[in-house]
Amino acid sequence: MSNTTSDSEKRFWNNYIALLEEHNVKPTTYRWYIQHCEQFIRCYTEIRLKSHTQETLSQYLSDILENTNLKPWQKTQAFDALKFLFLSIHSPISNKIDWEYWKMSCKELERDHTTLARNNTPIKKQLNSDMDSKGGYDNGPEIEKLIYVIRAKGYSIRTEKTYIHWVNRFLKFNVNLKSEAVDDDSVIKYLSYLAVEKGVSPATQALALNAIAFYFKSVLVIELGDLSAFVNAKKRQKMPVVLTTDEVSIMLNSLSGIQLLLVSLLYGGGLRLMEAVRLRIQDVDFGYQQIIIRNAKGNKERIVPLPVKIVDNLKQQISNVRNQHKLDLQNGYGSVYMPSELVKKYGKSDKQWVWQYIFPSSKLSIDPKSKIIRRHHLHESTLQKTVRNTARKVNIPKRVTCHTFRHSFATHNLERGMDIRTLQQLLGHSDVSTTMIYTHTANFSKGKTSSPLDFL
């Protein structure tokens, strides 16, 4: 605010700052919020604030997204500033704009994002970024072969990075041994070292063993023998965090727009976060009331129920996406990311309607490898942050994450009498023992395990 600000303007901005205080915005950012608002007002000097329409505001938000001089956090801050600006004047369009959706679009998929990394990262570059230079060993060709085999088998990019990480650590531990000298004994010593010296969990130790065993079999062409002599990591039983049905309702009632729809899918279908944001048009079958989850963890597919309560909202979202896609095609765009194997199989299908994401970003971006301008799916990080903040806001005394809704889906289905095998299929677990953990949380919530204190 300048020194020549009138009394009415001072009152206006004082009311605005009071609204920021009410929503716990940090005082150190007030001046930046005001600057974003003043910049917006200067761009539309011929339009009064209360006369703005959803179209003019959306166009301005789109311009912010396309501004390459602003960092993602600055764009998010600008959206927040404008949201409070229109709330402060009680403008009806403040409730018509899906602010969270715009904020989710601020962050583009990184080059190494799990959706893009496999096709965008050449093996040589992946090798250089994952090798531990402090190890003092020369196993480049072997790790390169390991990456080739992993990709040939269609494993996810996260599995690829995890396996490379653990094989590198194993080779560093045995830095004085040549490749042909590593054997069962060297594996046993390393696994025992992880348990005794590093204090890793059983799951981490098992993951390291899987990576090393894969390396031996696929690269060294050696079958490991009896490894039972290694020291097992101390087992810790970790119970999943589960919300009650009331807590789920409170969370859902505190969300709106795209984020409400996404969280409804996480809880209503037991989806993982990335499974939800990667859904494509062809994955939803309204006729059979089901959702097909493709390329899930372990490269598996499964079918989950489509919640009836979100059908109308989901159809509206798909309708919005269709309109956006038509506009993209008219402007010479309309391409969407597809894995290279699908491109080879289906050819130029990346502009077809059925392949489009249900939750696309509101901005186009350049694919880091092909340099094609595409519309990727929303970045998942904003939803993760919103779920955490919402749980704190509504005072739920639990560590709530996006995955908590999947845990709650499983537990609540067991409480309602679903058999464990059906639940296993819905969750996509390979082993029923993984699903069995939810019998513990369900038993307690149903009162099947009672305290003797209650009988005194």
E strand or H helix that includes residue 292: strand 290-293
Task: Please answer whether residues 166 and 208 qualify as being in contact, where contact means their C-beta atoms are separated by less than 8 angstroms.
Answer: yes
406 catalytic? Reply is: yes
d(CA 137, CA 31): 53
297 catalytic? Reply is: yes
Task: Name the active-site residue from 172, 297, 302, 388.
Answer: 297
52 catalytic? Reply is: no
d(CA 346, CA 325): 20
Task: Name the active-site residue from 374, 375, 376, 429.
Answer: 429
SS3 label, residue 71: coil
429 catalytic? Reply is: yes
Pair of tokens at residue 270: 């037991």
Report residue 218: phi and psi, to 5°: -90, -30
d(CA 144, CA 295): 24
The DSSP string of 280-325 is: BGGGEETTTTEEEE-S-TTS--EEEE--GGGHHHHHHHHHHHHHHH
Cβ-Cβ contacts under 8 Å for 357 (sequence gap 6 or more): 277, 278, 279, 280, 321, 336, 375, 376, 377, 378
Task: Name the active-site residue from 83, 189, 302, 403.
Answer: 403
Cβ-Cβ contacts under 8 Å for 188 (sequence gap 6 or more): 227, 229, 230
SS3 label, residue 205: helix
Q: What amino acid is encoded at 290 in this protein?
A: Q
272 catalytic? Reply is: yes
Task: Please answer whether residues 79 and 115 qualify as being in contact, where contact means their C-beta atoms are separated by less than 8 angstroms.
Answer: no
d(CA 275, CA 271): 6
Cβ-Cβ contacts under 8 Å for 62 (sequence gap 6 or more): 362, 363
Q: Which of 274, 272, 365, 354 is nearest to 321 (CA)?
A: 354
322 catalytic? Reply is: no
d(CA 251, CA 243): 10
The residues pairing with 366 across neighbouring beta strands, listed in sequence order, are 373
Task: Name the active-site residue from 272, 325, 377, 412.
Answer: 272
d(CA 341, CA 147): 17
Task: Name the active-site residue from 75, 113, 377, 406.
Answer: 406
For the annotated catalytic residues, the residue numbers are 272, 297, 403, 406, 429, 438
